[in-house]
Structure 1
């Protein structure tokens, strides 16, 4: 029998200067900081079920293409994709793409980068079998 299921998840991102990311997550995305560990700050996402940590990097970035092996894309799921797009556009988010429907994955969303260059996606699942929040 497997152990008790995971209750929460934290994704840690690393930046040479984490201060702009901290401000971006708190002020632009409106995420509450739940723990400040000095070199790392952890923000709550999705009603304290998922968390995003931004930490001071220990060295230079090793990977430039997020969607290659070893890379990652961090996705926020919401029913209000267009509202988030307008908000991020007004806030000056970089590499902001237009919202589109991916027929391959049956999702509607867009991409942007945070101040450290990490790739994020905001999307809504169109598949009826996706578990709601």
Structure 2
């Protein structure tokens, strides 16, 4: 039996697939303000969300999976000032901007919107310590 490696993980990347990689890259870079961490050319752009947490934007024509019209993935980003993000993204005219909502059971205030190809993004702030 082989033991599971004990060295810590060094990076987390969630990959999303796009028909128009350039438009997705521009949105995450220019609107969301994410930093390009790894440039894989025309295949993928890996954007840093937070230290060691990344989203990979993949050209679906070259990637391991295909673009799907119906999205079953939500990208959630925890922020310190959800009201500031709500005002900013509203001014940017993002698609599908919801009203601000609270979920006292899990201790968040949040809103959602869509990226250029329909992936839902949730911006949330903790409303109590430890959540």
Give runs of aligned pairs for residues 44-55 of structure 1, distance below 5 A.
Answer: 44-46=48-50, 48-55=51-58
* TM-score using structure 1 length: 0.84
Report the equivalent of 1:73: 74
CA offset at residue 103 of structure 1?
A: 2.3
Q: Which ranges in structure 2 are unaligned for 5 or more consecutive residues?
A: none
1:27 alignment partner, SS class: helix
Judged with a 3 Å threshold, the aligned counterparts in structure 2 of structure 1 residues 51 and 60 are, in CA distance, closer, same or farther, namely closer
State the partner residue of 1:30: 33
| Aligned-partner SS, 1:55 | strand
Q: Segments of 4+ in structure 1 off by > 6 A?
A: none
Q: Does the Cα contact within 8 Å between 1:18 and 1:116 map onto a contact in 2?
A: no
Paired position in structure 2 for 1:14: 17
Q: Distance in 2 between matches of 1:77 and 1:20?
A: 24
1:43 corresponds in structure 2 to 47
**Do the aligned partners of 1:93 and 1:113 also contact (CA within 8 Å) in 2?**
yes
TM (normalized to structure 2)?
A: 0.85
2:64 is the counterpart of 1:57: no
1:108 and 2:109 correspond: yes
Q: Deviations over 1:106-131 (max 9, x none)?
A: 2100001100110110001224223x
Matched positions, count: 123
Over the aligned positions, Cα root-mean-square deviation in angstroms equals 1.7
Whether the aligned pair in 1 keeps the contact of 2:17 and 2:67 (CA below 8 Å) is: no
Deviation at 1:31?
0.8
Q: Alpha carbons of 1:86 and 1:44: their partners in 2 closer, same or farther (altered >3 Å)?
A: same
Larger Rg: 2
